[in-house]
Amino acid sequence: MSHSTGRRPCDLKQYGVLLLLVILPWQVFAAPPTEEYKLKAALIYKLSKFVEWPDPAEAGTVHDFGICVLGEDFFGPALEVLETRETGGLPIRIKYVFQSEGIGTECQVVFVSKSKRAFIRSILKNLGGQPILTLGDTEGFAEQGGMIEFTRGGKHIGFKINLESAERSGLKFAAPLLELATIIGSQHRQTEP
């Protein structure tokens, strides 16, 4: 004798979709970095060589050069390789934070993950004025106040630079970097004589 509970039995297809939804976040988190994110990790390191930060003595005692990822990590081990290198004579340390409140003085560079897309404007407002290089690859990142936005053009990665955001934070970019970028938010463009 069968009892009806008012629920329809779950068919195999629905179960498969449910199982996929439960398993997917783990698979995405554990996925190896794509070639795109390996290249972006290398670019973060190279870009840090073209940025001048305020004197570390003014900011307090700095022992490491912190590269922080805010939100979901799409880099995998590609960023951790940088911990064998230095920037500005300081050893690089990678840190992963999930809330912008977790960003402290140990972060000189913050990569804002696409997973924080809905919060970018408030994150950048909270970080504004601090000597922290903000990077991201979400469309419109630089227009919203991020300093460097990675862009895609076919198989190439380019970038936009928001000079006003950098200047408010006391950061300066070297001329060769500016020549390679699309500059936005700058009132300092050279005028024709």
Separation CA 178–CA 161 (nearest Å): 8
Residue 132 has pLDDT above 90, yes or no: yes
Q: Is the pLDDT of residue 2 over 60?
A: no
* Count of CB atoms situated within 10 Å of the CB of 100: 18
Residue 112: helix, strand or coil by DSSP?
strand
For residue 127, give its domain range.
35-184
Q: With respect to residue 101, please indicate whether it lies within any of the assigned structural domains.
A: yes
68 is a domain residue: yes
User: Over the stretch 28-60, which tens digit does the pLDDT of each residue have?
Assistant: 344 456 888 999 999 999 999 999 988 754 545
* Strand 156-162 to 148-153 pairing: antiparallel
For residue 53, what is the DSSP state?
P
Q: Is 111 helix (H, G, I), strand (E, B) or coil?
A: strand
pTM: 0.77
| 70-91 pLDDT per residue, tens | 999 999 999 999 999 999 889 9
Q: Is residue 5 part of a domain?
A: no
Share of the chain above pLDDT 70, in %: 75
- The number of distinct structural domains making up the chain is 1
In a domain, 18, yes or no: no
Inter-residue contact 76 to 37 (CB < 8 Å): yes
Q: Which CATH number do you get for residue 166?
A: 3.40.50
* pLDDT value, residue 128: 84
pLDDT tens profile 158-193: 999 999 999 999 999 999 999 999 999 765 443 333
Residue tagged 């008012």 (tokens):
6
